[in-house]
Amino acid sequence: MAVPLTRLAYQTLQQGKSLMGLAHKEVSLRLMGALAPEGAPSTVAVPPEMLQAMQASFQRLLDVDWEEAEQGIYPASLLFDAPWLEWASRYPLVWLDLPATWNRRKQRRVDDLPTTVNRSDYPSYYLQNFHHQTDGYLSDHSASLYDLQVEILFNGTADPMRRRLLKPLVWGLRAFADRPASQLRVLDVATGTGRTLRQIRAALPQARLVGLDLSSAYLRQANRWLSQLPSELPQLVQGNGEAMPFADASMQAVTCVFLMHELPAEARQNVLNDCWRVLEPGGVLVLADSVQLADSPQFRPAMENFRRMFHEPYYRDYISDDIDARLTAAGFKAVRAESHLMTRVWTATKS
Ligand SMILES: C[S@@+](CC[C@H](N)C(=O)[O-])C[C@H]1O[C@@H](n2cnc3c(N)ncnc32)[C@H](O)[C@@H]1O
């Protein structure tokens, strides 16, 4: 009886998060329409077939998430892992931040960053208010709200979608089965606040983890979350994914979640090239990002609305991009991909 009860608890938790996310977006859109109509986005109509397809996809995601925990890819406790109290205490700040977001939308301002930011430290494509968020990626305030905002955006499915990289990652590392697990290095590129590293830590408790991101504020937040775990703290490094400060062939696995759609095409290719460079031959890259028009045409209206509602300057280009071809151009072999709700997961190896 224990297993069905836990599965029911997991399903209920996810349904609850989904309802909260939907309710939050509905109320905040209405408020924007009433208080800041000039900033309100014009969205495309969503056909009922798309909602049905999404609901079915949502249920499949939860089933896979549960089954892979049962298979022992990661502990079932990970399905319930979230900083609930912190999120609850930060939720009012998400609301308090909305008027500033509306103002930027009204003024069509997308370069409203802290004056303390030294712009020459960053590539120009990065110096923007992605998702219209306050300070872009460049403040502790932004880092403190990011995870919660992503949870709301994806109706509570961000972590289940991120977890889809764990199975290909664990399986890919079997290429190094003759080595002690403590000698395997796994790099998470654009780790942000470290949610993916936290999940990898649960699946690979012995591995040496490294996280890289351009934002020192997001890395500080990652450090706070990750230092709560009893295991060894991952190494957190500030740097550009296009030219990473790691030696050639120094990693056995590389992961990268939700970065590709935030890069112009050339930077996208540069990041994939550099992932290939830092991997040891036999190593695996697992990449997760938004689904695209070619693999998920039924979700076209959702992709279109995402772009209209949030400042995502490279998303339109990304959803038509050929990531398989980019991986091959970088040197990867055995490229394969599958979709999980709104996320596509590519696995590729360096031979
Ligand atoms: C949408 S967030 C994804 C964060 C995290 N992977 C997750 O799953 O939530 C994009 C992240 O990419 C980082 N980023 C953007 N461009 C980068 C680059 N060229 N090199 C390294 N990090 C970058 C940002 O600072 C931000 O933390």
pLDDT tens by residue, 54-110:
999 999 999 999 999 999 999 999 999 998 999 999 999 999 999 999 989 888 899
Ligand 1 atom, smallest distance to 196 CA = 8
Nearest CA to ligand 1 atom 3: 258
CA distance 162 to 213: 17
pLDDT, tens only, 6-42: 999 999 999 999 999 999 999 998 998 888 888 788 8
The three-class DSSP label of residue 189 is strand
Nearest CA to ligand 1 atom 1: 258
Tell how far the Cα of 275 is from the centroid of ligand 1, in angstroms: 14
Ligand 1 atom, smallest distance to 218 CA = 27
Q: What percent of the chain has pLDDT over 70?
A: 99
Spatial contact of 19 and 27, defined as CB atoms under 8 Å apart: no
pLDDT of residue 258: 98
Tokens of 296: 């998920």
Tell how far the Cα of 259 is from the centroid of ligand 1, in angstroms: 5
Taking all residues of the chain, what is their mean pLDDT, rounded to a whole number? 95
Tell how far the Cα of 67 is from the centroid of ligand 1, in angstroms: 29
Tokens of 246: 């790691």
Ligand 1: residues within 6 Å at CB? 126, 137, 150, 162, 190-192, 195-196, 213-215, 218, 240-242, 257-259, 262
pTM of the entire predicted model = 0.95
Residue in 198, 223, 258, 259 to alter for ligand 1 test, most ligand atoms within 8 A of Cβ: 259
Ligand 1 atom, smallest distance to 257 CA = 6
CA distance 128 to 182: 39
pLDDT of residue 43: 87
Highest mean pLDDT among 24-33, 110-119, 209-218: 209-218
Paired with 333 in beta bridges are 349
Contacts of 47 (CB under 8 A, 6+ apart): 301
> Which position has the higher pLDDT, 2 or 192?
192
Identity (one letter) of the amino acid at 268?
R
pLDDT of residue 2: 61
Is the model's pLDDT at 45 over the cut of 70?
yes
pLDDT, tens only, 261-315: 999 999 999 999 999 999 999 999 999 999 999 999 999 999 999 988 899 999 9
Residue that is written with structure tokens 């992932």 in the block: 275
Q: What angle, 0 to 180 degrees and rounded to 10, lies between the N-to-C axes of helices 84-107 and 2-35?
A: 30
The three-class DSSP label of residue 226 is helix
